Homo-oligomer: A and B are copies of this chain.
Amino acid sequence: MSIPNTTARLLITCPDKPGIVSAVSSFLYNHGVNITDLDQHSTQAEDGTYFMRLEFQTPHLEHSRRVLGKEFGETVATHYNMDWRLSFAADVKKVAILVSRFDHALLELLWRWSRCTLPCQITSVISNHPDLENDVKSFGVQFHHVPVTKDNKVEAEARINELLQGNDLVVLARYMQVLSSDFVAKWPHKIINIHHSFLPAFVGANPYQQAHDKGVKLIGATAHYVTADLDQGPIIEQDVDRVTHRDEVDSLRDMGQDVERNVLARAVKWHLEERIIVHGNKTIVFN
Contacts and interface: CB of A to CB of B under 8 A. Distances in A.
B25 A29 contact: no
A20 B251 CA distance: 26
A36 B42 contact: yes
Contact of A41 (B41, B117, B245): B245
A37 B45 CA distance: 10
24 contacts: A1-B251, A4-B45, A21-B21, A21-B25, A22-B22, A22-B25, A22-B26, A25-B25, A35-B40, A36-B45, A38-B40, A41-B246, A117-B254, A200-B201, A200-B216, A214-B235, A214-B281, A214-B282, A215-B282, A216-B238, A217-B285, A218-B220, A218-B238, A218-B240
A14 interface: no
A218 B263 CA distance: 12
B235 A215 contact: yes
A210 to B, nearest CB: 9
A234 interface: yes
B21 A35 contact: yes
Contacts of A36: 42, 45
A150 interface: no
Contacts of A103: 115
A117 B103 CA distance: 13
A218 B281 CA distance: 16
Range of interface residues on A (Cβ < 8 Å): 35 or more
A35 B41 CA distance: 10
A138 B234 CA distance: 38
Interface in A253-287: 254, 258, 262, 281-285
Closest 6 A/B residue pairs (Cβ): A215-B282, A201-B201, A22-B25, A21-B25, A22-B29, A1-B251
Given A238-B218, A283-B245, A29 B19 contact: yes
Contacts of A284: 245
Given A22-B25, A217-B236, 14 more contacts: A18-B32, A18-B33, A21-B25, A21-B29, A21-B38, A25-B25, A25-B26, A38-B40, A45-B57, A200-B201, A200-B202, A214-B235, A215-B235, A258-B262
